[in-house]
């Protein structure tokens, strides 16, 4: 009974949070609702007994949305509403409905006739974490490693893009040095 109550409560909360994320024109509402929705999703993992995935969901998405907040802070005045360019509302609603139905059909159609069985049932007497580890390092080792390599690539490219003047620190420089640097930059612009 508690599982059913928790499931419907968190389904309602998650869907309403993501609805707010999509519909609001306030950047702060959208970000906060996104973070809340992501955290409420972890409840489903807990209900299903996948504690490890639930905790990871909380950790990963709370950090990820925090980075989004940082961008929001840089690009918007988050206390004001964003003026959105809105086209024909009916077209947008219709298209998104069709897209949603299509996605559900694409994923559900191949398995709708099959009896869904768990490919990797929980091993008795072993914790949740160990179970994930076993599957991750046997059957899904290659995707796991590929994901790791892709993350490494993303990290290195991020460092290269952001780290053009990493050895310069404005806080450690004198006033004169900063002025000199600015002059040099201006001279460069003239040359270009």
Partner 1 sequence: METAYLIETVIKIVVILLVFSALAGIGTYFERKVLAFMQRRLGPMNVGPYGMLQFGADAIKLFTKEDIIPTNVVSPIFKIAPVITVSTAFIAAAAIPFLPSFTLFGYEVHPIIADINIGILYILGVMGIGLYGPLLGGMASANKFSLLSAARSAVVFISYEVVAGLSILAPIMLVGSLSLIDFNNYQIENGWIILSQPVAFLMFWIAAFAETGRTPFHLIANDHEIIDGFGTEYSGMRWGLFYIGEYANMFFISFVISLLFLGGFGDGSVIGAFLFLGKVAFFFFCFLWARAAWPDVRPDQLMWLCWKVLMPIAVINIIITGVVIMEG
Interface residue list for partner 1 (CB under 8 A)? 1-2, 26, 28-29, 32, 35, 39, 51-52, 54-56, 58-59, 62-63, 66-67, 69-70, 72-73, 78-79, 127-129, 169, 171
Spell out the residues 6+ positions from residue 151 whose beta carbon is closer than 8 angstroms to its own: none
Find out whether 30 and 21 touch, Cβ atoms under 8 Å: yes
Length of the chain: 192
Q: Residue 86 or residue 169: which is nearer to partner 1 going by CB?
A: 169
Between 28 and 181, CB nearer to partner 1: 28
First and final C-alpha spacing in the chain: 72
Asked whether 29 and 84 are in contact (CB, 8 A), the reply is no
Nearer to partner 1, 1 or 190 (CB): 1
> Closest distance between partner 1 and the C-beta of residue 176, in Å?
21
Distance, in Å, from the CA atom of 4 to the CA atom of 47, rounded to the nearest integer, reads 9
Q: How far is the CB of 65 from partner 1 (least distance, A)?
A: 9
Instruction: Kindly state the smallest distance separating residue 138's Cβ from partner 1, in Å.
Output: 19
CA–CA separation, 172 and 106 (whole Å) = 57
Smallest distance, partner 1 to C-beta of residue 129, A: 6
Residue closer to partner 1 (CB basis): 87 or 163 = 163
Chain centroid, CA 81 distance in Å: 23
């Amino acid at each position: 009974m508690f599982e059913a109550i928790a499931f419907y409560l968190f389904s309602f909360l998650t869907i309403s949070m993501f609805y707010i994320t999509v519909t609001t024109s306030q950047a702060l509402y959208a970000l906060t609702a996104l973070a809340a929705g992501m955290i409420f999703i972890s409840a489903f993992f807990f209900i299903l007994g996948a504690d490890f995935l639930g905790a990871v969901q909380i950790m990963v998405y709370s950090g990820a949305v925090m980075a989004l907040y940082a961008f929001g802070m840089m690009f918007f005045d988050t206390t004001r509403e964003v003026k959105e360019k809105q086209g024909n509302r009916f077209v947008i609603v219709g298209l998104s409905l069709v897209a949603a139905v299509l996605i559900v059909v694409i994923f559900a159609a191949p398995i709708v006739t099959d009896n869904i069985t768990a490919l990797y049932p929980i091993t008795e007497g072993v914790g949740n974490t160990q179970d994930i580890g076993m599957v991750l390092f046997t059957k899904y080792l290659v995707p796991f490693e590929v994901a790791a390599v892709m993350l490494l690539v993303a990290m290195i490219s991020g460092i290269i893009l952001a780290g053009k003047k990493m050895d310069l620190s404005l806080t450690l420089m004198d006033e004169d040095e900063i002025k000199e640097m600015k002059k040099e930059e201006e001279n460069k612009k003239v040359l270009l």
